[in-house]
């Protein structure tokens, strides 16, 4: 993901006129080169250094989690986030106007959606995958789904013929 993101941004900067849409599918899908100093959807413009530090923290956190990572699905989701975050960090560190303040290159425009780059859907897709895995009970440090803990308070356990919770008996 990182290599693809860097390659596509280099090509976009080299081949596309800044701010002028180049049609791919009519006016609905275009190549549109913009420099984004903010986060997704151009939020937090002017806080590029804060976004850089947050993204750096995310990358460090993913590497730290990787030591205990067992689930291949969590590895996929975290890898998608890691590749995308690192792709945008390369821009923040090495593009103008300077280190920690660099603007991210965005170049894909689809309909009314804000202009984005290859890294952005990777981060979003990875985050969605992690949410789904969490909801379905997949932990990052095990291969399968977590099993319910029989000692969980409030869990209904049949007590003879009454079917009452053990907590209700005391």
Query: Which residues are marked as active site?
Result: 106, 120
SS3 percent helix, strand, coil of the chain, rounded to 5, is 45, 15, 40
Q: Phi/psi zone of residue 102: left (φ > 0), alpha (ψ -120 to 50 degrees), beta?
A: beta
Contact in structure between 48 and 103 (CB atoms under 8 Å) = yes
Question: What six digits make up the tokens of 109?
Answer: 């425009």
Question: What six digits make up the tokens of 149?
Answer: 């803990």
Q: Fill in the DSSP letter of residue 166.
A: G
Contact in structure between 129 and 76 (CB atoms under 8 Å) = yes
Whole-number Å distance between alpha carbons of 145 and 148: 10
């Amino acid at each position: 993901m990182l290599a693809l993101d860097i390659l596509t941004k280099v090509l976009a900067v080299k081949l596309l006129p800044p701010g002028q849409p180049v049609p791919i599918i009519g006016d609905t899908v275009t190549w549109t080169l913009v420099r984004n100093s903010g986060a997704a959807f151009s939020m937090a413009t002017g806080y590029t250094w804060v976004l850089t530090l947050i993204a750096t923290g995310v990358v460090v956190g993913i590497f730290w989690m990787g030591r205990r990572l067992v689930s291949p699905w969590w590895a996929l989701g975290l890898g998608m986030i890691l590749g995308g975050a690192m792709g945008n960090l390369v821009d923040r560190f090495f593009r103008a106007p300077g280190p920690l303040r660099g603007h991210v290159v965005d170049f894909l425009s689809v309909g009314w959606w804000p202009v984005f780059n290859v890294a952005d859907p990777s981060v979003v897709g990875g985050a969605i995958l992690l949410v789904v895995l969490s909801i379905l009970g997949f932990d990052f440090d095990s291969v399968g789904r977590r099993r319910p803990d029989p000692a969980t308070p409030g869990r209904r356990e049949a007590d003879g013929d009454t079917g009452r919770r053990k907590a209700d008996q005391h």
